[in-house]
Structure 1
Amino acid sequence: MNVRERGLLQQSLAWDEAIVSNDVSRIRSFMTEDWICVATHGGTTNVDSFLDQIAQGELTHTEMSAEESQVRIYNEAGIVIGKGYSKGTFRGKQFSFYEWSVSVFILKDDSWKCVLTMLADA
């Protein structure tokens, strides 16, 4: 893995830590204003809905792990493919997903920002 790829991977792992902190401002700093997530069950969530759920306590994360990670960079875009656990609660019910995640990042103002995340059962 080269220096740019390691930098993107570190940014992705720092975003995982921010998600586990459940700190909306901190999480938001890793995302573009038009970020979207395609969830394991097939639904989609946009940045505002995702952050509102966290801010209202409907969604909390207690773990985001990355057991495997692959990174690809294409000029000003990068992809992080990972496999691991996402655990927490959603609307009062605990969840634990072992899943693949694919996140697409763009280099914006010298920082990697996520524009898309897609999740699938591992």
Structure 2
Amino acid sequence: MSDDASAAPHGPDGALHDRLAALAHDWAAAMVSDDPARIAGFMAEDWVIVSESGISTRGQFLAYVESGDLTHSAFQLVGEPRIQVYGDSAVLTARITNTAHYRGERFDADEWTTDVFVRRDDRWLCVLSHITGAART
């Protein structure tokens, strides 16, 4: 199906799926770069992240990276993301494993992440990320 067919949810066509999956992998690589400008390139100005500690804005998140308080030494998708397209919006859900350091303290995470992207000027930018811990089996 084409991503422009209707407002109804549906999986993207092959080329769009590949483009969005590559975007998710590229963003993961940007996170490990600890380069705030590179990371910001994937985020809309109004991006927020929702986690167990609440809501953080794009500015707050990038300030942690820029200060060096937040770094990532690993950030990887486990398998391929589930991708649903709704016109000019897309929802990517994936399992992510990462190793982060916050103010020198190491955190290893296994999380489910849902990212909402919108298409603006033929670019896909994330407007919302929601993370939740994966159940340990």
TM-score category by the smaller chain? Answer: over 0.9
Q: CA deviation at 1:100?
A: 0.2
- Provide the rounded CA distance (Å) in 2 between the counterparts of 1:42 and 1:83: 19
Match among 58, 62, 80 for residue 51 of structure 1: 62
| Alignment of 1:36 onto 2:40 | no
Q: Given that residues 5 and 73 in structure 1 are in contact (C-alpha distance below 8 angstroms), is that contact kept between their aligned partners in structure 2?
A: no
Q: CA deviation at 1:71?
A: 0.8
Q: For 1:38, give the aligned amino acid.
A: V
Instruction: State the partner residue of 1:105.
Output: 117
Instruction: State the partner residue of 2:6.
Output: none
Q: CA deviation at 1:84?
A: 2.3
Instruction: State the partner residue of 2:133.
Output: 121
- Provide the rounded CA distance (Å) in 2 between the counterparts of 1:5 and 1:42: 31
Larger radius of gyration: 2
| Alignment of 1:65 onto 2:84 | no
TM-score by length of structure 1 reads 0.94
Q: CA deviation at 1:6?
A: 1.4
SS of the equivalent of 2:31 reads helix
| Alignment of 1:77 onto 2:111 | no
Instruction: State the partner residue of 1:92.
Output: 104
Instruction: State the partner residue of 1:26.
Output: 38
TM-score by length of structure 2 reads 0.85
Runs of 5+ in structure 1 lacking a partner? Answer: none
SS of the equivalent of 2:128 reads strand
Deviates more, 1:97-106 or 1:63-72: 63-72
- Provide the rounded CA distance (Å) in 1 between the counterparts of 2:21 and 2:92: 7
